[in-house]
Amino acid sequence: MGEIVLQAYAKINLGLDVLRKREDGYHEVKMIMQRISLADTLVLRKCPGGGILLQGDTETDASGVPMDASNLVYRAIQMLKEEFQLEEGVEAVLSKRIPVAAGMAGGSADAAAALKGMNQLFSLGLSEQELRDRGVKLGADIPYCIMGGTALSEGIGERLTPLPPLPSCHILIAKPPVSVSTAFVYGNLRVDELPEHPDIDGMTEAIRQGSLQGVIDRMGNVLETVTIPAYPEIAVIKSIMLEYGAERSLMSGSGPTVFGIFPDEAKAMQAEQAIRKAGYAEQTYLVQPLL
Ligand code: ATP
């Protein structure tokens, strides 16, 4: 087999709730995950020498992402190489488009693509569930990134329930130029003092009924209570989106990425221009929900 080309799609959280901090330090979450049409590309091929050679491509900017053994792509390849005692080398080229440390699971998406790609390249015969079981050892969002689509994610992210696709809509993404560490956000979250919790069960039901309005009415993310005070520009971007006609705007994951759901593309484009012009974000994308 020659080379394998994979798209590693980003996600947003339509809803994110944290239920409690477990004794082992992990947080128990309840989230609605949605795949979007913004992706990194990963190319995998076998190569002589037995090692793992990972590099960024020359066209996309992978600054801020270490292309060494700490990269999740490298770790995913290494994990399967060791388990299956694969002697051939693997060359991987990663084109980064998903903003880094942004709350869009870019690294997890890349790792999910690497696991799927290795399964194909070496005909390992692993089922999707077997890939998910391996993925969760590298990161809590990786099982979801393997599955994709719209899903309810529970536990630490390993308990997944697939949901019907979100009705089509226009989503504007804006990532302000700050990097947010997921560990910082969870570390500063006061789970017992949260003023409110989003209605994730109601959102799940709305998705099952195909009601976009039911989803919009229930959008919420408890991590905003930590990230917005640290980076108030997130709140400003949210309000610009509303001012320009978004039905609702929200921070994704631990932030700082903000997304807005728009009734039409023209309004989303106007909001995008306003955010860029005011200097709040250069990384902006107009995307759709994906299966
Ligand atoms: P999440 O939404 O899962 O919290 P995130 O979008 O906030 O993820 P990532 O973009 O996945 O964060 O990256 C977090 C850190 O992981 C980066 O600062 C980077 O050093 C490291 N990392 C390792 N591998 C990758 C990768 N392939 N792509 C991006 N970052 C990676």
As separate numbers, helices (DSSP H) first and strands (DSSP E) second, the chain gives 10, 11
254 lines ligand 1 (CB under 6 A): yes
- Do 251 and 228 meet the contact criterion of CB atoms below 8 Å apart? yes
What would the pLDDT profile of 11-69 be if each residue is shown by its tens digit? 999 999 999 999 998 899 999 999 999 999 999 999 999 999 999 987 777 777 999 99
99 lines ligand 1 (CB under 6 A): no
Give the distance (Å) from ligand 1 centre to CA of residue 267: 31
Task: Please compute the mean of the pLDDT values over residues 261-280 and round it to a whole number.
Answer: 97
What would the pLDDT profile of 175-233 be if each residue is shown by its tens digit? 999 989 999 999 999 999 999 999 999 999 999 999 999 999 999 999 999 999 999 99
What would the pLDDT profile of 65-121 be if each residue is shown by its tens digit? 999 999 999 999 999 999 999 999 999 999 999 999 999 999 999 999 999 999 999
pLDDT at 61: 73
Protein residue whose Cα sits closest to atom 29 of ligand 1: 107
Active site residue 11: yes
Among candidates 291, 232, 287, which has minimal Cα distance to 104?
Answer: 287
Cβ neighbours, 10 Å, residue 234: 24
Distance, CA of 42 to CA of 39 (rounded, Å)? 10
182 lines ligand 1 (CB under 6 A): yes
Residue from 17, 40, 110, 141 carrying the catalytic annotation: 141
Protein residue whose Cα sits closest to atom 20 of ligand 1: 65
Distance, CA of 288 to CA of 291 (rounded, Å)? 10
Q: pTM of this prediction?
A: 0.95
**Average pLDDT of the chain to the nearest whole number:** 96
